Amino acid sequence: MAAKSQTKKNVPNNQPFLLGRYEVGKLLGHGTFAKVYHARNVKTNESVAIKVIDKEKILKGGLIAHIKREISILRRVRHPNIVQLFEVMATKAKIYFVMEYVRGGELFNKVAKGRLKEEVARKYFQQLISSVAFCHARGVFHRDLKPENLLLDENGDLKVSDFGLSAVSDQIRQDGLFHTFCGTPAYVAPEVLARKGYDAAKVDIWSCGVILFVLMAGYLPFHDQNVMVMYKKIYKGDFRCPRWFSPELVKLLTRLLDTNPVTRITIPGVMENHWFKKGYKHVKFYIEDDRFFSLDEEEYDTGFASDQSSLSESEAEIETRRKVTSLPRPASLNAFDIISFSPGFDLSGLFEEGGEGTRVVSGAPVSKIISKLEEIAKVVSFTVRKKDCRVNLEGTREGVKGPLTIAAEIFELTPKLVVVEVKKKGGDRGEYEEFCNRELKPGLQNLMQEESEDDPSGSSHVPSDSSQLPTDPIPTDASHLPSDTE
């Protein structure tokens, strides 16, 4: 009975079900402006962590822009070694961050018991650098990396958390530097202490160096009960490696903890370091339905042609036919789907843009549409991943918002017509629009033309009856951003 009352006491607003979607449990921790609870998604039965932020407090503290920036950052940096933000909800009084629940606790608790074995410390450091490199490629800089902000999941893998002090490249001043003094004293870089502007990427690298030292030694490289004395040690780079550190590790730490940010090692330099590379495997993944999938665990298709390079022409035809006939029937659209289509939709294959979505109606068979998408992907060196009537196209070029990722899904409109719905799942919107205009749109239009030429009876043509045209715009992906007026 006592446990039950304790649970209710910890539930925000004394409501066991948050907005009808989450069963809220025990309090996990709290800070000045927020509390974090364990919760269960009543639909999926999965555990999540919910960060509850008091709107009145952040309004008084002038932190609304800060919270919005944190949301934007967490949506930008989705990586297996970063704690994931699932959604953001809001009421008049509270903002709720629904986040991945990481069961293993802080890495700090593990280090507090003593130094780690070299191979264990190296694994955590590799995962840390992988996630930091991912953030930096997207213009995000953490600025408060420390073992307390590194969590461990049930598999013992590292998860970077707490992007509250993070910055984005948009905040850089005209001199190309950041000027905000932030971070945790023992992990802060000397150039931050100098208060003359700093390169945030180099600041994160310094913090990674301090973390690596702590994992291997079990204590801080720069430490003193007097904070000012500790700052002097940091500024001078005054530290000593214990005798059990290998020469390779000492050399790497010397470059990580170089007091001159210009000559300090870079992330690419770290990833090429011999000590770092031992047992390192580059993380390759994709995200689908808010879940991470490793590319090493999935069969990756790069198109029928490349799959069948070793087959004879007749064998390739048989194999292609086998793949085509095994395709499931596309999901049918209901009345609500159809009336949600955009006005003036040209059923001859022209596109209508709705936010970051593109749609086309086609009379071509599903197999030919998928083959065409694979053909288009091959031209621009995209990787193709197929599942039923869904095709994902994934680029390799890293940008501020990551590689361009496009999802195409085929739905049945009538027994002879299908709708191909294309959405940008990741990457830059401008790059997506250029890809649609230069490759995707012409490619599917060519397919429509080919179908027309192959079927002189016109049975495969898309009808021009305007009564079948959609009437309302198609909604784009909802973004549950907090609203002060909500």
CB burial of 417-434 (b: ≥16 within 10 Å; e: otherwise) equals bbbbbbbbbbbbeebbee
Confirm or deny that 51 is annotated as ligand binding: yes
Residue with tokens 């992988």: 130
| Phi, psi of 476, deg, nearest 5 | -90, 175
Sign of the Cα pseudo-torsion (198, 201, 78, 411, in order): positive
- Told to judge if 144 belongs to the known catalytic residues of this protein, a careful annotator would answer yes
Task: Judge whether 183 and 234 are in contact, CB under 8 Å.
Answer: no
CB burial of 128-165 (b: ≥16 within 10 Å; e: otherwise) equals bbbbbbbbbbbbbbbbbbbbbbbbbbeeeebbbbbbbb
Secondary element (H or E) of residue 368: helix 366-379
Q: Residue 13 burial by CB count (10 A; 0-12/13-18/19+): exposed, middle or buried?
A: exposed
Distance CA 198, CA 93 (A): 37
DSSP-assigned states of every residue in 195-257: TS-B-HHHHHHHHHHHHHHHHHHSS-SS--SSHHHHHHHHHHT-----TTS-HHHHHHHHHHT
According to DSSP, residue 290 is labeled: T
**Which position among 54, 144, 175, 428 bears the catalytic label?**
144
Cα→Cα distances 314→142, 309, 317, 322, 439, Å: 55, 12, 5, 12, 30
Distance CA 206, CA 204 (A): 5
Sign of the Cα pseudo-torsion (310, 315, 320, 323, in order): negative
Query: Cβ–Cβ contacts within 10 Å for residue 192, how many?
Result: 24
CA-wise closest residue to 15 among 50, 55, 64, 46? 50
Distance CA 207, CA 370 (A): 47
Count Cα atoms within 13 angstroms, Cβ side, for 52.
25
| Phi, psi of 55, deg, nearest 5 | -65, -40
Count Cα atoms within 13 angstroms, Cβ side, for 416.
9
Residue type at 337?
A: D
Q: Where is the binding site, in residues?
A: 51
Q: Where is the binding site for ATP, in residues?
A: 51
User: Active-site positions?
Assistant: 144
